[in-house]
Each structure stands twice: as C-alpha cells, then as structure tokens.
Structure 1
Amino acid sequence: MDQARTTISKIFNGEPHSYTRFNLTQNMEGDNSQVEMKLSSDVDEEVGGNGVGDHLNHNSNRKPYVAQKLGRTPKNLCFVAVATFLIFVIGYLIGYLVHRNKDVSPICPAAVFRAEETAVRGETGAAPLMDWDDVKQLLAQKLTASKLDSVFSDFSSTEHRAGSAGDEGLGNKVLNRFKEYGMKTWTDEHFVKVQDPPTSGSNKFVFKNNPEERPSGFLSYSATGKTTGAVLYAYYGRESDFRMLRDKSINMNGRVMLVRAGRNSFAEKVANAAKMNASAVLIYPDPSDYSIGDTTQLFGHVHMGSGDPYTPGFPSFNHTQFPPVQSSGLPKILAQTITQSMGNTILRQLTGQNLPDGWDGYNRLGDEGDTLTLEVNNVLTEKKMNNVFGVIKGFVDADRYVVIGAQRDAWGPGFAASTVGTSVLVELARSISDMVKNDGFKPRRSIVFASWSGGEYGSVGATEWLEGYLSSLSMKAFSYINLDGIVTGQSGFKVAASPLMYSLIEKTLKEVKSNKAVSLSAQFAKSNWESNVLEPLRMENAAYPFLAFSGIPSVSFRFTTGVSDYQYFGTLQDTRDKLNRVTSSQVPQLAEMAGRFAGHMALRLVHDHLLPMDLRKYDSIIRYNVAQINGKVKNVQRVQPQLLPKALTVQWLNSASGSYSRAARSLATDITNSDLEDIQMCRIINDRIMTVERNFLSPYVSSKESPFRHILLGSGPHTLKALSTHLDALRTDNPEADADLFRNQFALATWTIQGCANSLAGDIWSLDNQI
C-alpha cells in the first residue's frame, strides 16, 4: 500500500516530497510542548542551482491533472460511463489515502515518531558533511607561513592612501586574485567626502613667543579656522581626566587642551574636550608611551562615528540626491597632531597648578598666560573608493553568508595596518576555494571576502556598504570577521566580539596551535580565557559598525605586544622592518596562526547544521545591566524622590529580561528536539538565531543621530549603560540630568528587550501576553 501511495502521489502531484519531519514548539514558559508531524514520500525534492535546497515543497492539496482532463469531450455514452466509473474508483482511493495522511495524530508518542521517521527517511538534499577534523587538516595544509610570506611582497606598497591610484591598484590585484580562484566577484563604488591636509599652505601653531611650528601630520574631519587660547594639559583626554581637572576648579572654557596619544581614540579625546567647552585639542606622542622618534608625524581622524560623515545613515553612492547634512559625531572645535618634540617644548614652559596625583610627566598643568594660537586649514574633498568582493557559494543556504574583511588603504606603507590583513584575506580565499574545488569540501553557507577602502578615515568603505545594503544584509549576513591589524606583536592575544560568538571563540582558541606547538588557549587564555583574552570592541574598529549599526555578530582579534598598542599605527613608519622588531621576525608565522584562527571560525560557521552561537551569553549581560539599573532606580527614589516617583516601577524591565531568558531556553529545547538533518528546519532555527543581534538595535532612535543603535554594545542615550549613567546624574542632582528623558529612554529600552525576546521565541501565535 505504501508503494501504491508513493506511485499515485508521483503521478497526480507531479513532483516528489521530502521525508517525514517534525517541529517542536514550546510556549514562553516552556510547558505544554506540542509535536507537529508532516508526512510525505521517501523521495526528496531535488536541490536546484548550486545545491541550495531553499524551496522544499510540502503542499499535498493540488488537484490531479488527469482528473481534470478526463471526460470533457466524450464521443459515446458507453465510453462516458466507463470513464466515469474509473474516475470514481481512482478518486475514492486518492481521497482515502489523503484522508489517512491528514488524520495522523499531532501528539503521537516519541517512540512512535522515531520508528516512523526511521522507516521513511531518505536523502535530505543537503551537501555531504565532511568531518570537521578533515576540514581543519585541509586548511592547515593550504594556509602556510611560506605562502603568506610571498603574498606580503605582492600586496606591499609605499603609497596607498584611500582613493589614490595606489589604493585602486591594490584593489585590482585583489580582484584579479579572486577571479583566478574561480570566485564570483564584484565591486562596490562610493563617492565620499574626506578631509585632507591643505594643498597649499599648512596647518600651524604658535606657542607664546616661540617660533611658528608647521606639523605635516593632521586629523581628518577637524573643524577649520583659527583660534587662540591658554594651554591646559589634560593627560590622555579621557572623561576621567577631565573630571579630575574639573574637581580642581580649573576653568576649561576656551582652553587649548594638550593631550597624549593612546588609551582612547583621537575622536574620543576631541569629543571629551568639546564637552568642556575647549576651543582646540593638540595631540602628541609622549616618550613614555611611544619610542618612535622626536619628529614622527601622526595621522588620523576625529569623527566620532564611522563612514562618510556627510551622508550619515545613508550610502554615498554617486549622484545620490540627499540634502546637505552632517554627522552629529563631527567635532565643532579644532584638532591637530604634533610631534613628540613639539609637545615637550610646550610642556616644559607650562605654569599653573601641579599635576594631579597619578599623572606622570612635567610638573605643571598650564595657566591663563600660556597662550597658543592654532590654525587648521584642512580641505574637504570628494574621493572615489572601491570595495572589492569575492564569494564562495554555499551548497545548501547560499543566500546566508559570513563576511571576512580587511582594509587595504593606509596613511603610508601601512604594513601592520593593512598589508598583513589583506594578504591573509587573499590567502584564505585561495585556500578555501581550493578545498571546495579539489578536496570535496562543500560549505552549507556562503563566505564573502571583502577588501575595504577608506579604513583610515573611519571604516568608510565598510560602513558605506552596510548603509547601502542594510535591509538585505541584516537578513542574510550572520557574522563578520575582521582582519585589520591582526599582527602587532607576539606576546599577547586579544579578541573583541559579540557575546553570541564567545563559545565559538573559546573552541577556536583550543583548536588553533601557536608557534610553540600548544593551543592559543594554553598559551594566552590560561585559566580564564574571558578575563585574559577578551577586550571591548572599540568604535574605531571596523567590526564595530557591523555589530552596533547593522546588528551582525562580529569579531576582531590581534596578536599584541602584551603591553601597549602598536606604536606605528597612524604613522609613515608602519613598515615590515618595524613590525619585525616587535615580533622577532615572526610575522609570517603569526599571520598563519591569525589566518587559521579566522579560517576556523568562518569554516565552522558554514560547516555546521546550526550556527554555533550561544544565546545564553546575552541573558547574563541583560540580567547584569537590569540589576544595576534596578538598584540605582531605588537609590534615586530614596535620595531624590521628587525626580523619580514611586510610581516608576522596574517590574516591566524585569519581565522583559525574564522573557528573553525564557525565549533563549525555549529555542535551546527546540534545537534539542528537532531533526537537524531537515534543511528547512535548520534554516528556520538559524533565522531565529540571526534575529537576536539585529533586534537589540533600538527601533526608536534615528540612525542619522545615533547610528550605533545597539542597546547593549552601542553608543548613545538609548543604551543600558547610558541609562545607568543617567541615574548617577539624577542621584547627584546634576543639572544635565533630565528625569523625563530618562523615563522615556527607560521605557523604550524595556520594549526593545521585550521585542527581541518575542522575535526569538518564534511564531507570533505561540506567544503569551508577557507584559
């Protein structure tokens, strides 16, 4: 009877169906689980195009074509009678068989289900799954230090500033390599506005009666013009440094702040100074942090954001008609880098108060008589920048992909900043392409390799691509791996990433061997990998806009000196010789390890049935932030009851946090009880996982005003960290605090968390009323 049913099904339905599968869905509390079974024939639907099984068809209600055709034009009554009888018999049999299919109980015992599934399972249509140990071994064979060493020479350049002929030439080299490897390639062109040093004249400053100084380094996106003010030494220009100066009752209005490079970004230093109503900022490399020479110039940018600041929130495509607008992250004060000798000359002549405790350097902070005149004449110019892409298509879910990217531009040679990352990018593309073509590796999902331009101006190329294709990328790209600055030392290893990727990172640390023949985990992670290896993802990192702007789980990593950041970033001395000094000439070996670390993560993401992402990590982070806010709300209600009345309850925030926790546990249960050989089932679960990061982007703020909308890892008043800080201001009755604004942001953050929980939980009809 089963064979007859299969044969009739083939004849009347015209195409085969997939094997038996089931879906297990739980309510928000994890109770009353139901099992839904769908039965079909043993024969799977063929996987079309590149092995992608995106359109499995389980519809069994179509009318048979033969039944429609017979009996329309009978030529004699006898034939009509016989035909009618045959149609009746066949129709009866079909109805009986279909009725049997539909009457299967949706809550049959688990033992019955397993027996039935075993009996009818056939080929799934998925790509053959290569053993993971074999995948790792293949990558190790193909990605080697000797091959990387030769690629370094191919992609080294003394001049490849973004938008230059050198930058375009390197981009064409990358594109040709991708084509040689048989990858599908394309380019993405943007016309962006950047600020360059003056084409005629120069930036300059005069301190007291000293000779005029003309530094050749510069800070892109500084305000332009001329200003005069008294110099005030502000250490590293951090918020804590300015608070210390304010506590000493020092007037900072109109002052020219002299700050050290390092510890935070140029943009953060300038933004912090602007909050103090300073008129300008001078940044120098102090000899206690930098041994780069007295006359080395520094280059960088001061946009408190990423991408083209003159098209905030939307892409810089050619001839795009947008009204003139500027990013809220552009500074309104002058900013300029100076050399070490210039900085020391100023410091030696400062008067005024003594340095605060804990600050090292010269003895005085500066007084009203220590005047300095600064003139910044940077010019705004439009440049064409090309991003270059190549893709290795997946064999099951080709429209889902991990992106691996590296910037290729630099202020000067940029060997550590861009050459190493670009070389590893190209070699990873070659190695994995070869695995697919010659070794039988068939990734389930796709891998996109991206070479960005404009990295030194604030991840311009990467951010413009995200802005241009945000609606598509947020549904398709499930991870980003950043290769910028991956080798800057050899004695330390640091990783910054989305918490969703922590478990994958931990496993990869244990799998990849260092040049000491031990795992990276054993060498660098020690007993606690999170405390010894993890670091915050900074705004200047190219992975940051992927995470905080686009909601794509991202990771960035680097071998470090273990003491400080690489000293030659942002200088014209970032050469291979300088990098060899801090790595004992082990650059190829370190690049190989970095490539395998990135490659292992990427291959695991496209190899496994389910995306290896741990939703529980965000559960603990949310609970920690909620506990902090709860305690501070109660504190403010006790100290300043007129600002936050007792009617303001934290019940809804607690409930939203609980909703996320239950939804994460529910999905984990669904995964445990699901058939992971079912292509469509895996796709549904993976899509639920992919919504998590994206749904932490607050839907209530403008991407133009607050582009980094992530409420846990973003930047702006909508974040949980900002809510906690706002409560501190309310407790001390700070005049900048606003109780009504806090209550509004508090409510919106609550609903953002609840919305993420609802999306993670599954279908809308499966949800209970949580709040």
Structure 2
Amino acid sequence: MDQARSTISKIFNGEPHTYTRFNLARNMEGDNSHVELKMSTDMVEEADGNGVGEHLNHNSNHKPYMAHKPGRDPKNICFKVAMGLLIFIIGYLISFMIHWKKDVGPNCASSAPSVPPYAKVVAPETGAAPLMDWDDVKALLAKKVSAAKFESVFSEFSSTQHRAGSPGDEALGNKMLDRFKEYGMKTWTDEHFVKVQDPPASGYNTYTFRNQTERLDGFLSYSGTGTRTGAALQANYGQEEDFKRLRDKGINMNGRVVLVKTGLISLAEKVANAAKMNVSAVLIYPDSPSAEKTPLFGHVHMGSGDPYTPGFPSFNHTQFPPIESSGLPKILAQTISNEKAKSILANLGGESVPDGWGSFYKLGGESDLITVEISNVLTEKKINNVFGVIKGFVDEDRYVVIGAQRDAWGPGFAASTVGTSVLVELARSISDMVKNDEFKPRRSIVFASWSAGEYGNVGATEWLEGYLTSLSMKAFAYINLDAVVTGDGGFKVSASPLLHSLIQSTMRELNYPNKASLFSQFGRSDWEKNVLQTMKMNDTAYPFLAFSGIPSVSFRFNSEASHYRYFGTLLDTREKLNIATVNKVTQLAELSARFAGHMALRLVHDHLLHFDLKKYDKVIRTHVAQINSRVLAVKRIQKDKLPRALTVQWLMSASGSYSRASDNLLSDIQNSNLDDIEMCRIINDRIMAVERNLLSPYLSPRENPFRHILLGSGPHTLKGLANHLDALRMDTPDADATLFRNQFALATWTLQGCANSLAGDIWSLDNEI
C-alpha cells in the first residue's frame, strides 16, 4: 500500500517519467516480501525486434511521447486519474496477496523428514563456553547408567558361537547396527576380506612323545606349518630373561621343542622370543590347574591386523602382490592342555630348573624327543565393523572413538560380551542425554564394534589402515572397552601420557561399589605406580596409539590376587566371571561404563581438549638421560665403537624445544579468548598433533607399522636406541654403530619436528641448537 501511495503521489506531483527495474532481493532480516526498487533513466534493450519488452526500449520506432502542461488538457487530467486508480488497485492487490501467502504458507517443519533427536536444528553457538555445566553432565550420566540395566543387555549379546566371520558374529553385528539405529544415530559398516589361519578342516594337529601321539583341539593362528622333531626343553614363561637364563647355563637351544606356560606376556611374544633362540617349535599350555583339559586358542602374529596385507587395508578391491608381515613366525607353534603338559614335563630329564621358576620338573635332556605336526589352513573371511555416531554441535568433524570387539573363540564373556554390553549402554545413555536432556556435545562420539579381534585386532587395525590419513587428523582419542571386567579388588590402566591427568581426575570423581573413590581405593600413595601399566602390542588400543598416533586408553577391573585364566578358552563364561568378581559383574560393568563415559564426555564437553602436554616432557627427559648415560658408557668401554664427536646435545636440545613449546602453548591458552570457537579449534589442533608427530616420518608404515618413537616397537624408538647402545657396550654380533647413528639422528629430528609443530606458526619456532 505504501508503494502504491508513493507512486500516485509521484504522478500527481508531476515528477519526470522514468523507467523502473524491479530487483526482488531477500531481506537478511527474514522478510521475503521486501521489494527493492532501482530507478534508472537508461535501460538496455530487452529484445531484438521480437516485440518482447519493446515498450521499454528507448530505440523503438514509436514516436516520442510529447508531454503537455499539467492541468491544461482535460483528457490529460482524466488519463492521470485513471492511471492513478489503476495503480492503486494493483498495489492493493499485490499487498493483499503477499500477506495472504504469509498467513497460509506451508509449515516446513511439519513436512520435513524426521531426523535424529540430537540432529534437530538449534540456535548456533556464538562462543565456546559450555552449553551445560560439567557437574550436570556427570549427574546425567550417573542417572542413565545403572547395574540393573546390564542384565538384559548381557542376555541379548551373549553367544556361544561368534568366532570372527561366522554367522554368530554377523548376527551380533546386525544387533549392534539395529541398536545404534534405534538410538537415532547415523550408522554405517566397514567390510574387509581378511586372511586368517584356522585349524585343519579335517584331522588334527598332533605331537608325539615317548611313542605316544596326541591329537590337539586347540590351535594358534598364524603358526608355521609342517613337521618338526626336537628335544624337549622347559622355558618357564618364555620371556627374554627366561631364555637368557637358559643360555647362561650353557644349554643348547638350537632345534629344541620348547614348552612354555601362559601369562606375563602375549603368546606372540613367547613364540618370537623362542624363534630368536633358533628353536624348532613351541608348545604353550595354560598356567591353570582348574583348566586341565580345556583347549587353548590364540594367535602368534607379532603385530596387529591382517598379516597378509601389512600396512594397507584388506578391502575387496585391493590389488597388491602377495606379501607377508615380518611378524609372522617361521617356527611351529601349538597349544596343549595343562594335563598334557604335565605328562610331558613329568618325564623329562636333564638339569634342574633355575631358582624361582616354581617348578619341580627337570629342564629336559637331549634324548627327550618330541615331534610336532601342524596342519593349519589359511582361509579368507569377510568381516564387518559396525559404527554409530552422535555428532557434535560445534566441531562435528573432530571425534573420540569408543570401541569393543564382539568376536571370541568360544563364549568369550569377559573377552567380548561385557565390553560389547558396555558399548551398547554408553551409546543408549549418551544419545538419551542428547535427545531428552538438551546435552550438546561440542565434538562427535563414534561407537565402534570390531570383528576379528581374537586374530590380533584385525578389524580395528584394517579400519585404521584404510582411513589413516583422515583419522590421524580428526580422531583425537580412542577408548578401549575390551575385557574391562576380569576380577574384583584391582584396577589397571594403560594409556598415552597425554591422558594421564584425565584418568586421574576421572578416578577422583567416581566411587568403587560401596567404597571410596577409585583414586582413594587404588591410587594410594603413588597412583601412577599402582595403577598405570605399559600398553602391550596385543591391546586393541595399541595400533591406535603406536600406528595412527591417536591418544588411547585401556583399563580393567581385575583381581589383585591372580589374573583371569580363561581368556582364549571355552571356559570364559558368565559363571567363571561371577566367581572371579564375587558376583559383581553388573556393578563393575556399570562402573566401567561410567569411567569410559566420563572420559569421553569430558573430551567432547570442554572447549579445550583435556590433554596434559607436560607428561610427555617427563617421559622424553627420562629417555634422553638413559641414552646419554649409555653413550658415555660405550665411549668409556668401547672407545672405537662411536666417534669422539658424537654427542647427545642435539637430542637434549630437541627435548628442550618440546619443553619450551609446551610451556608456550600453555601461555598462549592463558592469553587467548576461549569464547572464540575458531581460537579454540586452532589450539586444539596443535594439541592433537603431538601424538601424531611422535610417529617417525622416516619409516614406512608397511615395514614398521608401530612408528611411535616413545611408545612404539623397534630399533627406531628411544628405548630401542638405549638397547642398541647396550649391545655396542657388550660388543654383541648384532651391534652396528653406523646403523645406531642413523637411527639416533632420525629419532632426534622426529622429536624436534614434534616440538616445531607444537610451537605453532613457523615464526614461533625455537630451535636453539
């Protein structure tokens, strides 16, 4: 109406005639009815002789319009009045139609497709301040998770047959997928075709002793195959120090068949240690009288993932020439029952066992011959990892991953069922917090159900290998739920030093069932000594940490008196776990869910990642001090092994650079506006890069997958350098001064590169060497 009045006023006030171009532009205030008028006296041609828009064309052949003086010609006055009324009516109709469309326009919200509750449109954040107080988040999680809810989940996800790639494994994966969908999460699966070694399809693996042949039900995947005969030799737990004691006694181990018991180190490490002694075969038996006749299952790949696609993913379309992991043993390896092991050990001759081995049997003599025959078959299996994600509301493309394996050799209640159930309950609880309690995580949470964990973390590792470049930039933490409950009365954690402070604060805020906080219960005077352990290669979290450079954590409620003896056996059942936990399985499962959930929520809630960069400063300085003392020892004892000019100064300077860079970052945080989302993202990216940049860039992930120079495995690590210096000092055959110097330089510059990245911009670097 206002436009119509304005137009009429202009006509009757005798304003000059002009041509008008209408530009319908969206009002940024949200009013789509706004019309912007642009007045122009020069119009471009709208058509070329086709009559379209010809009345707006200045170059038309029509005679020019001759204006008369207003008020003199009655016809002119009548024409103006008629035109004014016409424009008034048109303006009124336009105004009416616009307002009518506003009133009767369709309701977009009601017609839009349904979306997960946590994905509904909310007002965008303008800053990085928490949307919910942390104490309220903790209270919500404690309210959602309860011991009583675990019974039904245990029942749903328990299975007696769910070996990787089997119908039982696939059925459990489908259940996980359905649950994630039920909770409103975006879901997907990750399919791999992996090669695993299974027992003989027909027949058995065997051993022959004293002319008595025994058929074996258990097996070790990835063993060498064939037939070997050698003299029996007892080697305790098969640790390096056990074989060293045998060597110090002058015992010839070449070609022997070694018997070792389970415990302390992984089965793969036992076989690898034995292979270094040039033995022909290894027989491993359970160190548990309560499982005398029970077969034992496992794998002996000294690595992680599919050993026939080392360093790259086993997707169906992968086209690589046949290759094997260097971690595959060449010697034979087989499990035997405790009962069969006793029958062999009781008939051995030779020398007495070393003190402290806790055995009254003899070591074994040259005449105690055993023949071992292994006929395992290599097969290809299709496995599926299953995922669900709760997306963040600020940094959606940054995420913490929470995972658990779902496969097992048998029932696998402690090995997989409890962890899978904790994963399901965490997914349900956190999605419910987002759906019904207005909790808005800043970053995303990915829930992962892995397959083929029993074959050496195959499913998880293949996923990492397939998406390494993306995950190393965006996944900032991994929380492992495998075997989180194995007993009552103890608590152990393996983690990246970056997460130690988060673990400590979480322990202070959670209470043990009917007792004080976890920290008071287990931390005591020195919590790091009493709780923290070194992460082992057979831990699912290990490839995340040492291969992908993602800060990771594994934890376990266990028994202080003894370890859980039923992993890898058919006796890993709910009944056995009830005995080990004094019937506290559901309570400890609840506490495990709260412990993992507490850490995950803290990582997606705070505006800055809850990482302690100074923890690595202490670890680095300890390693540098050890290397320095050993270099001095080599120069003193083996003067010709290292050049006089070789110094640890460069490594010390790199250590100092890291220390200064971490201090400077803390200073930058204190002087930054943490309500600025972009500023927080920049700082978090600097923090996330630390673990990733401790992976040596000079090594191939295919040849040396665990490239972490502090927590990895191999001669490139700082621990490996210290061991190499010991070899130089003792002048052992495998000592190589040139190789050491090369590895020493590369480790130094890996550490310096990590410090440079942590410092931030190139002009902020501090390389005072």
Give, in whole Å, the separation in 1 of the partners of 2:136 and 2:764.
Answer: 41
The residue number in structure 1 matching 2:170 is 168
Q: In the alignment, which residue of structure 1 is the partner of 2:537?
A: 539
Q: Is the 8 A contact 1:347 1:362 kept in 2?
A: no
**Matched letter for residue 227 of structure 1:** R
Q: Which digits, 9 at most, give the CA deviation of each residue in 1:178-204, with x for residues without a partner?
A: 000000000000000000000011100
Which of 400, 403, 406 is equivalent to 1:402? 400
Q: How is 1:436-447 mapped onto 2 (pairs within 5 angstroms)?
A: 436-447=434-445
- Distance between the aligned counterparts of 1:415 and 1:704, measured in 2? 34
Amino acid at match of 1:502: H
The alignment partner of 1:212 has SS state of strand
By how many angstroms is 1:69 displaced?
A: 12
The letter of the residue matching 1:762 is G
Question: Where do 1:74-93 residues align within 5 Å?
Answer: none
Deviations 1:453-498 (A, max 9, x none): 0000000000000000000000000000000000000110000000
Amino acid aligned to 1:207: F
> What does residue 86 of structure 2 align with?
none
- CA contact 1:401–1:477 (8 Å) conserved in 2: yes
Relative distance call for 1:69 and 1:508 in structure 2 (3 A) is farther
Q: What is aligned with 2:526?
A: 528
- Kept in 2, the 8 Å contact 1:415–1:574? The answer is yes
1:471 aligns with 2:472: no
- Count of paired positions: 663
* Amino acid of the structure 2 residue aligned with 1:269: K
- Structure 2 equivalent of residue 591 of structure 1: 589
Q: Specify the SS of the correspondent of 2:487.
A: coil
Distance 2:247 2:602 in 1: 51
Give the superposed CA RMSD.
Answer: 2.1
Q: Which residue of 2 aligns with 1:370?
A: 368
> What secondary structure is seen at the aligned counterpart in 1 of 2:214?
coil
| Secondary structure class of the residue paired with 1:713 | coil
1: distance between equivalents of 2:199 and 2:501? 45
Instruction: After superposition, give the CA deviation of every residue in 1:407-460 in whole Å (9 maximum; x if it has no partner).
Output: 000000010000000001001000000000100100000000000000000000
Cα offset, 1:258, TM superposition: 0.7
How much does 1:766 deviate? 2.4
Partner of 2:152: 150
- Asked if structure 2 preserves the Cα contact closer than 8 Å seen for 1:279 and 1:334, the reply is yes
Matching residue of 2:235? 234
Partner of 1:449 in structure 2?
447
SS of the aligned residue for 2:459 comes to: helix
Mapped partners of 2:128, 2:735: distance in 1: 57
CA contact (8 A) 2:289 2:338 kept: no
Indicate the residue corresponding to 1:284 in structure 2.
Answer: 285
Tell me how far apart the structure 1 counterparts of residues 449 and 125 of structure 2 sit (CA, whole Å): 38
Shift of 1:702: 1.7
Q: In the alignment, what sits opposite 2:186?
A: 184
Q: Which amino acid aligns with 2:139?
A: Q
Q: Aligned equivalents of 2:588 and 2:427: distance in 1?
A: 18
Once residues 678 and 403 of structure 2 are traced to their aligned partners in structure 1, the CA distance between those partners, rounded to angstroms, is 29
| SS state at 2:140 partner | helix
TM-score by length of 2: 0.84
Identity of aligned residues (%): 72
Q: Which amino acid aligns with 2:158?
A: S
Tell me the amino acid that sits aligned with residue 541 of structure 2.
A
Superposed displacement of residue 70, structure 1: 9.6
Superimposed CA distance per residue, residues 609-662 of structure 1 (whole angstroms, 9 cap, x where no aligned partner) = 000000000001000000110111011011111110111111111110000000
Residues in 1 aligned to 2:129 and 2:394: alpha-carbon distance in whole angstroms: 6
CA distance in 1, matches of 2:228, 2:407: 32
Separation in 2, partners of 1:766, 1:613: 22
1:328-477 aligned within 5 A: 328-477=326-475
Q: Deviations over 1:89-116 (max 9, x none)?
A: xxxxxxxxxxxxxxxxxxxxxxxxxxxx
Structure-2 residue corresponding to 1:225: 226
CA distance in structure 1 between the partners assigned to 2:244 and 2:596 by the alignment: 40
Counterpart CA distance in 2 for 1:152 and 1:312 is: 35
Pick closer, same or farther for the CA change 1:651–1:443 going to 2, 3 Å.
Answer: same
Q: Which residue of 1 aligns with 2:7?
A: none
- Secondary structure at 1:527's aligned position in 2? coil
Post-superposition Cα deviations, 1:330-359, rounded to whole Å, max 9, x if no partner, equal 001000000011101111111111111222
Contact 2:154–2:417 (CA under 8 A) maintained in structure 1: yes
Find the aligned partners of 1:353 and 1:611 in 2 and give their Cα distance.
Answer: 58
Name structure 1 gaps, 5 residues minimum.
1-13, 17-42, 44-65, 77-121
What is aligned with 1:159?
A: 161
- Does the 8 A contact of 2:128 with 2:677 survive in 1? yes
In structure 1, C-alpha distance between the alignment counterparts of 2:306 and 2:385, rounded to whole Å: 14
Paired residues for 1:41-56 under 5 Å? none
Matched, 1:208 2:207: no
Q: Which residue of 2 aligns with 1:89?
A: none
Q: Give the superposition deviation at 1:293.
A: 2.6
Residue by residue over 1:109-162, the C-alpha shift from the partner in whole angstroms, topping out at 9 and shown as x without a partner, is xxxxxxxxxxxxx97255852011110111111111011111100100010000
CA drift of 1:736 comes to 1.1
Q: What one-letter code is carried by the residue in structure 1 that aligns with 2:179?
A: R
Residue of structure 2 equivalent to 1:759: 757
Q: TM-score, normalised by structure 1?
A: 0.84
| Farther-moved stretch of structure 1 (518-527 vs 503-512) | 518-527
Secondary structure of 2:397's aligned partner: strand
RCO greater where, 1 or 2, for CA within 8 Å and sep 6 or more? 1
Letter of the 2:343 counterpart: T
Paired residue for 1:601?
599
Secondary structure of the structure 2 residue equivalent to 1:385: strand
Q: Aligned residue for 1:267?
A: 268
Residue 219 of structure 1 aligns to a residue in which SS?
Answer: strand
Q: Which has the larger radius of gyration?
A: 2
Whether the 8 Å contact between 1:127 and 1:442 is mirrored in structure 2 is no
CA–CA separation in structure 1 for the residues paired with 2:167 and 2:354: 49
**Per the alignment, do residues 368 and 181 of structure 1 end up closer, same or farther by CA in structure 2, a change over 3 Å counting?**
same
Query: Residue in 2 aligned with 1:24?
Result: none
Which deviates further from its counterpart, 348-357 or 196-205? 348-357
Equivalent residues in 2 for 1:464-503 (5 A)?
Answer: 464-503=462-501
- CA 1:769–1:526 in 2, change beyond 3 Å: closer, same or farther? closer
Query: 2:688 & 2:664 partners in 1: Cα distance?
Result: 16
Partner of 1:30: none
Query: Runs ≥4 in structure 1, deviation > 3 angstroms?
Result: 68-76, 125-128, 768-771
Shift in CA distance, 253/71, structure 1 to aligned 2, threshold 3 Å: farther
CA positional deviation for 1:765: 2.7
Residue of structure 1 equivalent to 2:639: 641
CA positional deviation for 1:524: 1.3
Contact 1:127 1:395 in 2 (8 A): no
SS of residue in 1 equivalent to 2:454: helix
Q: Separation in 2 of the partners of 1:672 and 1:71?
A: 60
1:692 lines up with 2:693 in the alignment: no
What whole-Å deviation, never above 9, does each CA across 1:163-218 have from its counterpart, x for those lacking one?
00000000000000000000000000000000000001110000123x21111000
Alignment gaps of 5+ in structure 2 = 1-25, 30-35, 45-56, 59-123
Would you say the 8 A contact 1:226–1:375 is kept in 2? yes
Structure 1 residues 517, 769: closer, same or farther in 2, change over 3 A? closer
Contact 2:657 2:767 in 1 (8 A): no
- Are 1:561 and 1:582, in contact at CA under 8 Å, matched by a contact in 2? yes
- Following superposition of structure 1 onto structure 2, how do residues 625-704 of structure 1 map, counting pairs within 5 Å? 625-704=623-702
TM-fit CA distance, 1:768: 4.2
